[in-house]
Amino acid sequence: MKNSLFALAMVSLLFGGCQPAALTESEVLSFVESFDAQKNQGEASVQPFIEGLAPDFSFFNTRNDSAKMFDPAWVEAAWFDADTAYSEIQMVQIDGQTAQVYGISIDVYGSLEMRAKFSGTVARENGRIVWKRWMHVDENRMATTMLDPTTENEAAEDAYWEMYRSLMRNDFAAAGAYADTVLQEDAGVALAYVGKMMKAGWLDGDADAFEAARTAGLAALDNESLIERLFMTAFTSKEDERVAGAMKVLALAPQDPLTIVFTAFWMGSGEESVALLERGLQPWSMMGAFHNLMGYRMMDAGNMEAAEEHLVLQTRFLGDAANPWDSLGDYYVAVDNKEEAVKCFEKALEIDPSFIASQEKLDELQAGESAE
């Protein structure tokens, strides 16, 4: 028995002792630092770069439709012309011989920084640590510039984004309330008056309140960014001047959803408006305002099937808001389905009893039924 136990112990020692130690965070960080340090040296960087990658290294980024296996023959000295290359590591998660690394890779060219958020897999193979997988998104190529408010007040900024979200839900009552909160916190936030204008003009039908908000918004423009100034000027202009101003905003903030949807609205029905909405729906597919306006654009074009699809989708995404149901009710009126239209207007009023537009439409439908 003793011999058997001794034999088992030796087997355990032999095989257990052969297991390499798990990676440590310090090893991973040291590897990433040394790998980066060998960049930005032109031709001298090529071989160290290749040696830092596993033979089966693969990568994925926003320019590729799928992950790709890396070919060392692709590597050129021109890749390594940055003045400085380094990484800011945000997190390291270790699982035995592999580690997941999350961070930002940065290439510096004079005063210019090229930044990419990445997630990569590091592994120990044959006694060496190498990159196995890499996925990144170039920050400089992400057109995510938004209509940020100029304010140092965090509460005002938080309320502003709630107002913004409400506008993209076509919930103008909430947008107006959040606008008031923004201005209570920081009276100088000019963009807050957009929420007040939409509530006054679209929900309350109060032309005087709309004009007062418009005047106050323009008066509040002082140290705002160029994008803010252009948007407020476009929003408070008319017809062709409004569209021309909005196009300037889109040149600076091409993916800002609020700018896209208002510009498409101001363009009126037509191919340009639809094309702009289609572009907005690609990154912002669940924002109700795009589906709402697209639904009406499709009705104008006589494409009732597409109109129904967009307006039904809006009620799925924003079923707790009154306006989507009101818009779907308009669709059912257009296709002469009064029964479904009544249900939609009643649903809108159930959500918001003060939603005047739905009440007026419901009254009109019911009056028409009485007359028949």
Domain 21-141, CATH number (from 3.30.565.10, 3.30.70.260, 3.10.450.50, 3.40.50.970): 3.10.450.50
**Residues near 290 by beta carbon (within 8 Å), at least 6 away in sequence:** 257, 260, 261, 277, 280, 281, 284
Q: Classify domain 144-246 at the CATH class level.
A: mainly alpha
The per-residue pLDDT for range 27-57, each reduced to its tens digit, is 999 999 999 999 989 999 999 999 999 999 9
The rounded distance, in Å, linking the Cα atoms of 303 and 142 is 33
The rounded distance, in Å, linking the Cα atoms of 148 and 128 is 46
Return mean pLDDT, the chain.
90
Same fold, 21-141 and 144-246: no
The per-residue pLDDT for range 297-307, each reduced to its tens digit, is 999 999 999 99
Domain spans, the chain? 21-141, 144-246, 268-372
**Residues near 347 by beta carbon (within 8 Å), at least 6 away in sequence:** 325
The rounded distance, in Å, linking the Cα atoms of 249 and 228 is 8
- Predicted confidence at residue 11, as pLDDT, reads 45
Q: In what order do the strands lie in the sheet with 84-95?
A: 68-69, 53-61, 128-138, 112-125, 98-109, 84-95
The per-residue pLDDT for range 97-106, each reduced to its tens digit, is 999 999 999 9
Residue 209, pLDDT above cutoff 50: yes
Q: Classify domain 268-372 at the CATH class level.
A: mainly alpha
- Predicted confidence at residue 370, as pLDDT, reads 60
Residue 142, pLDDT above cutoff 90: no
- Predicted confidence at residue 334, as pLDDT, reads 97
Quick one: which of 357, 299, 359 has its CA closest to 331?
299
The rounded distance, in Å, linking the Cα atoms of 83 and 85 is 7
Residue 342, pLDDT above cutoff 80: yes
DSSP state for residue 203 in the 8-state scheme = I
Residue 152, pLDDT above cutoff 90: yes
pTM for the full predicted model? 0.71
- Predicted confidence at residue 9, as pLDDT, reads 46
Q: Which residues pair with 124 in a beta bridge?
A: 129
